[in-house]
């Protein structure tokens, strides 16, 4: 079978629902209220898929949401009807997903002559979100719900696309998770600034004692912290490492700062490394001041106490953000401790 022209996964899912799944559902369960979407794990949900993505868990797939009582009554019948009646291929892509042989149930598109093992997930909205996040966003959210959920997961459930929301519950659930409440946003940003504060002087100090490798490692960690900070200031959930750089380039400062951070990582001595990071610190400080979450702060770098290392003193930003938190429960939350200083496996 020839390889079809690549279609971004979200567009493929939209067509799959409109042209195949939706019509079959209307025949198998006429008038059944439902919603349809492609959300959750998968590179296509965040818009980063390429032809390489087709090697596992990519293809004609989506979620079909029913009311809880309808899911318990009709899901198995609909799942079976789709297995029997879906086309064997859709726009050139197999609708059957076969095991790859890995330990987990990882599957890949593979042609089949019999009923297809499709990737149309049939569930209900509260169950899907509880399984994915550990809580139901259609109920009241707590600070713990937000803070214990990785930003990758929050990105996955708020990105993607909804093709039909006949239940009128899926879109509101996603809207509730669109971004942190204002005080929690302040706290999350404060944590990120504090992580930078812990290590911003170490790029120079490591280099001063001749440890350029250590200086480079610290610079790399600071680069990651700064990229995540810019995403958070841009009201974007930072994805995990594979897509962090791709997401960063789409931020307000991404085009300007990507070459600067790249130069910092490529630098071979601590002075050059520090010079590039200083540019990023001051740019990030300016972005912070435009958010209006605190009073404006001095965005310029300065020596680290009496030592000749240029730093922003990022803790100033963490403290200012926490000072503007009005919710006592959030205001009492601790900021991160320095990395590598607590108990753990040596």
pLDDT of 100 reads: 87
Say if domain 182-331 classifies as CATH 2.40.50: no
Phi, psi (5° rounding) for residue 135?
-155, 165
Confidence (pLDDT) at 342: 57
Instruction: Give the pTM.
Output: 0.94
For residue 115, give every residue at least 6 positions away whose Cβ sits within 8 Å of its Cβ, in sequence order, or none. 83, 84
Q: Cα separations (Å) of 55 from 44, 106, 142, 175, 238?
A: 13, 10, 38, 32, 25
Give pLDDT, residue 8: 97
Spatial distance between the Cα atoms of 98 and 105, rounded to a whole number of angstroms: 9
CB 83 within 8 A of CB 115: yes
pLDDT at residue 110, as a whole number: 95
pLDDT of residue 340: 76
pLDDT in tens, the chain (346 residues): 578 999 999 999 999 999 999 999 999 999 999 999 999 999 999 999 999 999 999 999 999 999 999 999 999 999 999 999 999 999 999 999 999 887 678 999 999 999 999 999 999 999 999 999 999 998 889 999 999 999 999 999 999 999 999 999 999 999 999 999 999 999 999 999 999 999 999 999 999 999 999 999 999 999 999 999 999 999 999 999 999 999 999 999 999 999 999 999 999 999 999 999 999 999 999 999 999 999 999 999 999 999 999 999 999 999 999 999 999 999 999 999 987 765 554 4
Residues paired with 64 in a beta bridge: 36, 122
Q: What is the DSSP string of 169-190?
A: -HHHHHHHTSS--HHHHHHHHH
pLDDT for position 103: 67
Strands (E), the chain: 35-38, 61-66, 89-90, 93-94, 97-99, 107-109, 119-124, 161-165, 302-304, 307-311
């Amino acid at each position: 079978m020839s390889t079809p022209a690549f279609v971004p996964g979200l567009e493929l899912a939209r067509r799959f629902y409109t042209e195949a799944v939706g019509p079959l559902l209307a025949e198998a369960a006429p008038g059944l209220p439902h919603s349809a979407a492609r959300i959750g794990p998968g590179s296509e949900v965040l818009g980063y898929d390429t032809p390489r993505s087709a090697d596992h868990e990519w293809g004609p797939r989506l979620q079909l949401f029913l009311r809880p009582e309808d899911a318990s009554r009709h899901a198995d019948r609909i799942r079976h009807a789709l297995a029997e009646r879906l086309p064997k291929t859709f726009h050139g892509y197999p609708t059957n997903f076969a095991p790859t042989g890995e330990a987990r149930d990882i599957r890949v598109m593979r042609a089949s002559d019999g009923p297809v093992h499709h990737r149309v997930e049939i569930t209900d909205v509260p169950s899907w979100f509880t399984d994915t996040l550990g809580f139901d966003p259609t109920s009241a959210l707590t600070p713990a719900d937000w803070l214990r959920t990785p930003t990758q997961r929050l990105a996955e459930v708020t990105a993607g696309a909804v093709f039909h929301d006949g239940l009128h519950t899926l879109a509101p659930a996603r809207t509730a998770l669109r971004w942190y409440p204002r005080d929690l946003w302040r706290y999350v940003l404060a944590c990120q600034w504090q992580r930078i504060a812990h290590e911003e002087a170490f790029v120079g100090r490591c280099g001063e004692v001749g440890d350029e490798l250590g200086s480079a490692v610290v610079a790399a960690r600071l680069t990651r912290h700064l990229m995540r900070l810019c995403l958070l200031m841009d009201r974007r959930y930072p994805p995990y490492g594979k897509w962090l750089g791709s997401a960063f380039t789409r931020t307000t400062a991404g085009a300007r700062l990507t070459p600067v951070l790249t130069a910092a990582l490529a630098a071979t001595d601590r002075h050059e490394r520090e010079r590039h990071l200083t540019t990023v610190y001051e740019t990030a400080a300016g972005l912070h001041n435009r958010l209006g979450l605190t009073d404006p702060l001095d965005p310029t770098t300065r020596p680290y106490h009496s030592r000749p290392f240029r730093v922003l003193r990022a803790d100033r930003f963490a403290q200012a953000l926490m000072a503007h938190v009005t919710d006592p429960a959030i205001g009492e939350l601790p900021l991160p401790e320095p990395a590598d200083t607590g108990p753990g496996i040596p």
